[in-house]
Amino acid sequence: MHAELRLAAGVRCGRKRVERLMRHAGLQGVYRRRRKGCTVRDPHASPSADLVNRRFVAERPDALWVTDITQHRTSQGWVYCAVVLDVFARRVVGWSIADHLRSELVIDALDMARWRRHPAEGQTVVHSELCRCPRRAEPGSASGVSSAAEPVPSASGRWPARRRAAT
């Protein structure tokens, strides 16, 4: 209301005066709706341990995989992409794209990574920034998460130089 009076009508008035007059008249401004989240959490699930401890360095291929989900707006709605990256090779080893944000999206990306790389059983740690979907027990991998306040490096982040990463 204050902005409308000032900008559109050219009326000089203070914000507090407009608030007081609106309150006296029983008027209230319209608020934007709160953004609806897309994560449906299991209230009984316990979070996984952070097995990486913020050290995103791998000594060999398929020792550490990191995952992420991104959303992209298209003319036909939202599209979600789940990606699995091998930290040692610094390349995408699995991915999946869908129009939903259900657990199948992540499971398909992990299945593609396992099919393409054939990691040794019990030798791969799969790390995500937050568990966004129910975790399925996979042979040959362990999983861990970091907190929301400490996100893992994304594709836009900078990787450490290979010489420094090995030390």
More confident residue, 33 or 102: 102
- The answer to whether residue 163 scores a pLDDT higher than 60 is no
The whole-chain average pLDDT of the chain stands at 77
pLDDT reading at 165 higher than 80: no
pLDDT over 60 (residue 136): no
Q: What is the distance between the alpha carbons of residues 146 and 111, in angstroms, rounded to a whole number?
A: 22
Q: Maximum CA pair distance of the chain?
A: 72
Architecture of domain 34-152: 2-Layer Sandwich (3.30)
pLDDT of residue 57: 87
Q: 3-class DSSP state for residue 147?
A: coil
Q: What is the pLDDT of residue 150?
A: 38
Q: How far apart are CA 142 and CA 121, in angstroms?
A: 10
Q: pLDDT band at 133, cuts 50/70/90?
A: very low
Tell me how far apart the alpha carbons of residues 54 and 94 are, in angstroms, rounded to a whole number.
22
- H helices of the chain, in order, are 2-3, 15-25, 103-117, 162-166
Q: What is the pLDDT of residue 75?
A: 92
**pLDDT tier, 161 (very low <50, low <70, confident <90, very high otherwise):** low
Please report, for the chain, the start and end positions of each structural domain, with discontinuous segments joined by +.
Answer: 1-31, 34-152
